[in-house]
Amino acid sequence: MTQWADDVFGVLVEVGVQQAAYVPDAGHTRLIWRCHAAKTIAAVPLTTEEEGIALLAGAWLGGQRGVLLMQSSGVGNCINMLSLARACEFPLLMLVTMRGQWCEFNPWQLPMGRNCRRILVAAGVACDTVAEPARVGAVVAKAARGVFERGGRRAVLLHQKLMTRKTFGR
Amino acid sequence: MAATRSDNYPLRRRDVAKMLVAGRGRLLVVAGLGAPAWDMTAAGDSDLNFPLWGAMGGAAMIGLGLALAQPKRRVLVVTGDGEMLMGLGALATIAVQRPRNLAVVVFDNEHYGETGMQLTHTAHDVDLEGVARAAGIRVAGTVRDRVGLGKALPVILKIPGPVFYDIKVRAETLDFVLPPKDGAVLKRRFRKALLGPSASR
């Protein structure tokens, strides 16, 4: 579960991302660690995901590109703040690790897991889903180039199959 | 409407706004939605102002993203008490990043001015300076009068940050001085003024 994360990190560096905001998810562990270790990227831990939408708006105002990492439950925390990205036409790249999608142990993850895509689309964010590890880098690269070169808001939903199963010790 | 203590606070928000941007030089300004956006516009609209018409709770974080992207420019966020209360976590996030060039100033009239002058938590003594300090923002203060403001201004505009000031201002309903409301226009004009004509989007 490290190769696809390393591929994504390579893409972020290549497209010139300089701010990586995140609320942690186990599935993003490797990528968060790589962002913190990178000299060219400011890794910004958040208290809630909506902070990241605002942070990246400020980054773009200042001439920098950014990415926002979260799990699917965090999407619900972003909804009103996505109006900022939409009203001002800020480019926005989100990488969302999915819960409540496949072999989910925790039923409380189901509401956001099952509705993540339609909620994002309703809030004006286009979505790509990727489930095969070998394709993750290419999907993120295409999404990132589209967002930063042509504008728009796009989330890549990283399928739960890409992540280690979380079983809470059971 | 019942009288409240902030009806008699000596500082007037439009005066404070003018003093903050007098001789603004290279200062970059983010103004929170509602009265702070009108105040900063009344003090002088500028391409290097980014006034908000929404995104409540996001002003300080926009300031952080901007401050990280432009470490050589001073970034000033001016917002209201209601807006700041909606995003208190931002103070913790800012404290962790420690941007030396960021100052967050709250015009605290202890009311929600755009929605009928209901009381905010600060009317009940929730202490925003205390929240900022507890979050780890060491340069922080509360200003209640002209003398205090005179001491705070150079700190807000020059001292290595992050800086947080809560400025108690009179609760008053003033005329609307509106900036452009098309967010894409506000974004483009800001980027062109800061980054040059090549920043088309």
Domain segments of chain A: what residues?
3-84+99-162
CATH of the domain at B78: 3.40.50.970
Q: What are B112-170's pLDDT values in tens digits?
A: 999 999 999 999 999 999 999 999 999 999 999 999 999 999 999 999 999 999 999 99
> Confidence class of residue A90 from pLDDT cuts 50, 70 and 90?
very high
Q: Is residue B200 part of a domain?
A: no
Among candidates A19, A58, A91 on the partner chain, residue whose Cβ is nearest the Cβ of B63: A58
The pTM of this model reads 0.97
CB A60 within 8 A of CB A67: no
Instruction: Please check whether residue B201 lies inside any domain of the structure.
Output: no
Nearest CA in chain B to A87: B183
3-state secondary structure of A18: strand
* Domain contains B87: yes
| A42 contact residues in B (CB cutoff 8 A) | 68, 97
CATH fold group of domain A3-84+99-162? Rossmann fold (3.40.50)
CA-based nearest distance A134→chain B, Å: 32
Report yes or no on B159 lying in a domain.
yes
Using a CB-CB cut-off of 8 Å, the residues of chain B touching A57 are 55, 58, 62, 65
Separation CA B31–CA B14 (nearest Å): 13
Put simply, the answer to whether A63 touches B195 (Cβ < 8 Å) is yes
Verify whether the Cβ–Cβ distance A83 to B55 is below 8 Å.
yes
Tally of structural domains, chain B: 1
Q: How many angstroms away from the CA of B93 is the closest CA of chain A?
A: 6
Q: Are strands A92-97 and A65-71 parallel, antiparallel or unpaired?
A: parallel
The residues on A that touch B, with CB distances below 8 Å, are 18-19, 42, 44-48, 50-64, 66, 80-81, 83-84, 87-91, 151
Distance between CA atoms of A9 and A5, rounded to whole angstroms?
A: 6
Res. A170: pLDDT tops 80: no
Task: Please report the pLDDT score of residue A151 as a whole number.
Answer: 94
- Model confidence at A101, in pLDDT bands (50, 70, 90)? confident
B89 touches chain A (CB under 8 A): yes
Contact A19 B68 (CB under 8 A): yes
Of A93, A86, A106, A105, which is closest to residue A158 (Cα–Cα)?
Answer: A93
